[in-house]
Amino acid sequence: MTISLEGQVAIVTGAGRGLGRAYAMELARRGARVIVNDPGVAMDGAEGSSKPADEVCDQIRELGGEAQPSYDSVASFDGGAAIVQAALDAWGRVDAVVCNAGILRDRAFHKMTEDDWDSVMNVHIKGCFNVLRHAWPVFREQSYGRVVMVTSTTGLFGNFGQANYGAAKAAMIGFMNVLKLEGQKYDVRVNLLAPSATTRMTEDLMPAELVAKFGPEHVAPVVAVLASRDCPDTGLIIEAVAGRIARSAVVRGTGVTYDESQLRDAEWVLANWEQITSLDDAELWWHLQQPLVPADD
């Protein structure tokens, strides 16, 4: 099967460099018309330039594709509206949104400022809301949409000095779990991607021997699947790194049960701690009331 995005319109935020650029180029290569959104800021969100978005658009056009730049910030509600409107003005529809924009304000928690926290939250998780809130009515109207939010293994498992970043990335899990349900009736599929690759955000964190091996081109094909009509699932977390693509998930252990008419004290809880925390026979739940069901149900 050949995955094609011919006739589709995709928005990629943070698409001027690194992974976002790779996503935009891959989607365009497969036929999508792409809004290349990037305000061209530094890693901490400072400054700004139209150059990164313009250069990616030029590269897509040189390959025979169609692309339009967007310099709006995902961190504002009006910016999110403008990004979506750019796609509607150019091509009259939106089929896929890749929420990739991000900044870093790494700092040990005891030194983290309110601005460090708010700036990262505003770009990562509020940025997803700002763009998707304006794309969502379009998806519902056309009964079709694909969403890829870029989370991180920091949000899944933790990483020293990234409390703001990890919290924002973990928040995407809860956001996705609701959107997958609300979008199901309209064939809107919402998934998370947790990539690892060499970018300006990670090159100083990776051992030198890995930098050359962990190219964004290893991750872009996963985005092509998740952003396409062929995407088989919704509500998944997919990790992608050079040499490995895998699913991560939040599961619920079986725990212990007791007669709810009889209270149990803290000593009882501690005595049963091993069984309470065991993940033997853990279950994957689709929503609060029901274990995992097929996406078509």
CA-to-CA dists, residue 81 to 45, 94, 97, 141, angstroms: 20, 12, 13, 17
pLDDT at 295 over 50: no
DSSP SS3 for 269: helix
Residue 112 pLDDT more than 50?
yes
pTM of the model: 0.91
- CATH 3.40.50.720 domain residues, the chain: 9-248
Q: Give yes or no for residue 273 having a pLDDT over 90.
A: yes
Stated as kind and residue range, the H or E segment containing 247 is strand 244-248
Please report which confidence band the pLDDT of residue 209 belongs to, taking 50, 70 and 90 as the band edges. Answer: low
pLDDT digits (tens, 9 = 90+) for 177-187: 999 999 999 99
Give me the pLDDT at residue 214, please.
66
d(CA 93, CA 89): 8
pLDDT of the residue at 206: 57
> What average pLDDT does the chain have?
92
Total residues found in the chain within this entry: 297
Q: Could you tell me if 122 and 167 are in contact, meaning their C-beta atoms sit under 8 angstroms apart? A: no
Q: Of 71, 165, 186, 258, which one is the catalytic site residue?
A: 165
Q: Which CATH number applies to 9-248?
A: 3.40.50.720
Query: What was the pLDDT predicted at 292?
Result: 59
pLDDT reported for residue 289: 76
Mean pLDDT within 280-287: 92
Give 192's DSSP letter.
E
Active site residue 165: yes
Of the pLDDT bands very low, low, confident and very high (cuts 50, 70, 90), residue 210 is low
pLDDT of residue 287: 87
Residues 210 and 203: their CA atoms lie apart, in Å, by 9
